[in-house]
Amino acid sequence: MLQLFVPTTKVQKDRKVMRDTDKRVAKYSRRGLVVNFIVAVLCLTIGDFFREHQNLSITLITGLLLVTLLRAYFLFRFDTLYGRAPARWRNQYFFASFLGAAWWSFILVSLTWLNGMREETMIIWLYTVVFYSSVANVFAPYRRFLTSYLFIGQVPAAVTAILLGHVEGYFYGSIMLVFYSMLSHQARVTSNTYWERLEANHALQERAKGLEFEQQSSRAAIDLKNEFLVNLGQEFRASLNDILGTLSLVDDDQLSERHRELLLLASNAAERQLDLVNNVVDFSKITTKSLVLEEAPFNPRRLLEKLVQDFALEAHQQGVELNYLFDRELPYRVNGDATRLGQIFSTLMTYAVKQSGMGQIFIEAVFRPDQDENGELQVVISDASRSGKEASGQDFESEESTRGIGLSICKGLAECMGGSVHLVDNRESGKRIVINVHLEVIAHQTQSTSQEQKLRGKRVMLVDIPEVVALSLVDQLADWGVKATRVNGHDPALEQLEEAFDNDRPQDLVLIYNKLNSFSALSLSRDIAAHKKFSGLGQIIAMSLLQRDSQEAKSHLEAYPQVSCIEKPIMHRKLYETLCHRLLNQGPHELATDDEDDGTAVLAGHRVLLVEDHRVSQMVVSGMLKKLGCQVHVASNGKEALTVLRNEKFDLVLMDCDMPELDGLSATEQIRADEGDNGGRHLPVVAMTSYVSDEDKARCKAAGMDDHISKPLRYEALQNQLETWLGKGR
């Protein structure tokens, strides 16, 4: 059989593409099928042609009806016939269409030759022009078929008109031939455009499939890498749990200074290893955009003060002076991820202390509220005396490549918190690390009036306080009702003390700031104590932890009981307690403030069931619990724990998740089922796990666990958990 369409390209061999093309042809052909028949019937039955050639008209109409029914068979049964043999349907429909075009041409020739260019002839000629114009677009994908189809339907009628031998025949016949040439040219152009467009779309689809496959392969590789890193992190956590737990149980009161120093070094090394494990896991989550932040309320001032305190010793060991200034308008409570914020700050402080070459570090924190109840917390770590400019400058991408993943993680975490991290280094403002994070404000700062009444009217002299620290300190002392006087230097300090004493306005206390690598404050303190006019004057010396633990400082404090020591950088709360102790003779138990909310709950006597299969972990966690005053019972697996719980009562269960025989999740589900059956009280169950992903936490919750604590267990974290579930009011 003659093939009017032979597929040559990949697109033309694509069954889906060809089905869509043929379905389009069938759809538009069905529309013209009935209209063609109606127009032909009207032209053949209305007018002189029917009266003069009645039998021929009936023959033409009957033949057209048969051809129309044949074409309708292929068009209206497209889905059934096409699915069996697409190429056969196409060829058979082409053949039926040729019959239709030939019969239509026969009708045109008959009308033109027998009737001339009269009214009904002109009507069917005009309709033919319109019909074949639309057909040219419908059949355009099949150019060879379309050209033959147009020839059969138009050329015989044009030749017949010319053979009539009069002007009208020449005119209309010539126009029909020109029209045929134009449609043939249009068919060639449209056909080429149609297939080129499909070729381009096919190429894009193939490229998209290739990219999708590559993406899936990359995602699979990343998932495999992440799974490996998570599993590796869990193994490290399990090992570090034993190390850190054992170190926390060592009673450093029985150790010498050298042994305490070695114990501290070992603990710090283990903590750094744990931070490294956490950083690797976090980096993996950040790169895959799978990191989920926790949302919990916290006090930003308290958090930042604690972080600064934690880094004071490390900074002083490196010979770096550390000071801070926090905005007085910092909100009292915000909602956000305090752990991640602390991680950002700690990593960047480590960089600033150890790697940046900063000789002195100043930390400034401000909060910029938005129009709603949210705002941006900005923390600036700089080596300048004060950061007075808005943070701007280059991002530290160039630093990331040379400083490991720490800075990259900080940047990623800050972006997850709706902020950013920048490192600026220029001559005007020095080196500055700028941290911005977005936080939701829950409550604004409230001022306590009870503090002001206690110290109102007292006079304090500040000696050698750095400028930026003194500005904040004077304002804070004024809030407490204390009048502060500033002076720099040994001799000026003695002169002002004597002058104030002579004018009957003596100072109530002296606060001396001791610089690093010197003990100048001790010299001034001795001279003040030796002076006959103010030998009993209370003194506070601010010095580093290293200086305070030195033999010279200890001897000085023993020799002069009127002298107290406070660690640098000076924390306002600690300063307030020391002032009350020196000026009001109040002990620590009398110094609770109105905004204090972190008192330690009494844990002594509470019974805790520890469910843990690892021998070393049993020893470590049991030791921590006993150190906290709890009574401990140990079960090696979930099955044993259920047996113990059915016979004894406990206040809380610490449940390891991964155990033989019966794991922690299944054991907790059984505990909750037993509670439901017996109508018993709800027993708090806290999961102990090295799996820290959000999915793992969700599984713990679904099993009925109340909370979780990640391994390696830290003494402070364990204490906080116990206070949460066993504290007052529970």
Q: Are residues 423 and 480 in the same domain?
A: no
Helix (H, G, I), strand (E, B) or coil at 156: helix
Residue 266 within a domain: yes
Return all residues near 130 (Cβ < 8 A) that are at least 6 apart. none
Q: Are residues 309 and 407 in the same domain?
A: yes
Residue 136 has pLDDT above 90, yes or no: no
CA distance 380 to 345: 10
pLDDT over threshold 80, residue 594 = no
What is the distance between the alpha carbons of residues 499 and 158, in angstroms, rounded to a whole number?
A: 128
**Partner residues linked to 686 by β-bridges:** 654, 707
Give the residue from 235, 268, 287 where a domain finishes. 287
Judge whether 241 lies within some domain: no
Domain assignment present for 243: no
Which string of b and e fits 684-701 if b means at least 16 CB within 10 Å?
bbbbbbbbbeeebbebbe
Taking only the tens place, the pLDDT of each residue in 445-481 is 654 444 456 788 899 999 999 887 888 888 888 888 8
For residue 110, pLDDT over 60 is answered with: yes
Average pLDDT over residues 281-296: 74
Q: At residue 382, does pLDDT exceed 50?
A: yes
Nearest to 385 by CA among 349, 428, 344, 337: 428
Number of domains in the chain: 5
Whose tokens are 């239509």? That residue is: 104
pLDDT of residue 428: 63
Q: How far is residue 116 from each of residues 50, 169, 365, 571, measured CA to CA in Å?
A: 14, 8, 99, 113
For residue 684, name the pLDDT band (cuts at 50, 70, 90). very high
Structure tokens at 593: 């403030």
Looking at residue 730, its pLDDT comes to 52
**Domain shared by 29 and 97, yes or no:** yes
- Domain membership flag for residue 404: yes
469 or 497, higher pLDDT: 497
Inside any domain, residue 222: no
CATH number, domain at 508? 3.40.50.2300
What number of other Cβ atoms are within 10 A of residue 295's Cβ?
9
Quickly list DSSP for 46-94. SSHHHHHSHHHHHHHHHHHHHHHHHHHHHHHTHHHHHHH-HHHHHHHHH
Contact present, 178 and 127 (Cβ < 8 Å): no
Separation CA 247–CA 294 (nearest Å): 29
Polymer length in residues for the chain: 730
Whether residues 68 and 170 fall in one domain: yes
How far is the C-alpha of 468 from the C-alpha of 96, rounded, in Å?
Answer: 97
* 343-371 tens-digit pLDDT: 889 888 888 887 656 678 889 999 998 87
Report the side by side order of strands in the sheet with 509-513.
483-487, 459-463, 509-513, 538-543, 563-567
Do 42 and 172 belong together in one domain?
Answer: yes
pLDDT at position 365: 92
The band of 586, judged by pLDDT with boundaries at 50, 70 and 90, is low
Same domain, 334 and 408: yes
Whether residue 235 is contained in a domain is answered as no
- Looking at the fold, whether 50 and 144 belong to one and the same domain comes out as yes
**Is 231 within the bounds of a domain?**
no
Write the DSSP symbol of residue 337. Answer: -
Is residue 398 very low, low, confident or very high in pLDDT (cuts 50, 70, 90)?
very low
**333 in a structural domain:** yes
- Residue-wise burial string across 137-168, b where 16 or more C-beta atoms lie within 10 A, e elsewhere: ebbbbbbebbbbbbebbbebbbebbbebeeee
> Which residues, 6 or more positions from 262, have their beta carbon under 8 angstroms from its beta carbon?
none
Answer for the pair 485, 340: CB distance below 8 angstroms, yes or no. Answer: no
Q: Identify the domain containing residue 196 by its residue range.
A: 15-211
Q: Could you say which of 443, 472, 489 is where a domain stops?
A: 443
| The two structure tokens encoding residue 140 | 């355009």
Distance CA 463, CA 470 (A): 9
Residue that terminates a domain, selected from 443, 472, 498: 443
Rounded Cα distance between 722 and 686, Å, is: 9
Judgement on whether residues 550 and 403 belong to the same structural domain of the protein: no
Verify that 461 and 386 share a domain, yes or no.
no
When pLDDT is averaged across residues 300-329 and rounded to a whole number, the result is 85
Instruction: Locate 489 and state its tokens.
Output: 């230097």
Helix (H, G, I), strand (E, B) or coil at 363: strand
Q: Which residues contact 477 (CB under 8 A, 6 or more apart)?
A: 460, 483, 484
For 473, counting Cβ atoms within 10 Å of its Cβ (0-12 exposed, 13-18 middle, 19+ buried), the class is: buried
CA 349, CA 433: separation in Å to the nearest integer?
A: 9
pLDDT at 192 over 60: yes
Determine contact, residues 715/722, Cβ cutoff 8 Å: no
Give residue-wise pLDDT tens across range 705-717.
998 888 777 777 8
Give the tokens for residue 562: 């009127």
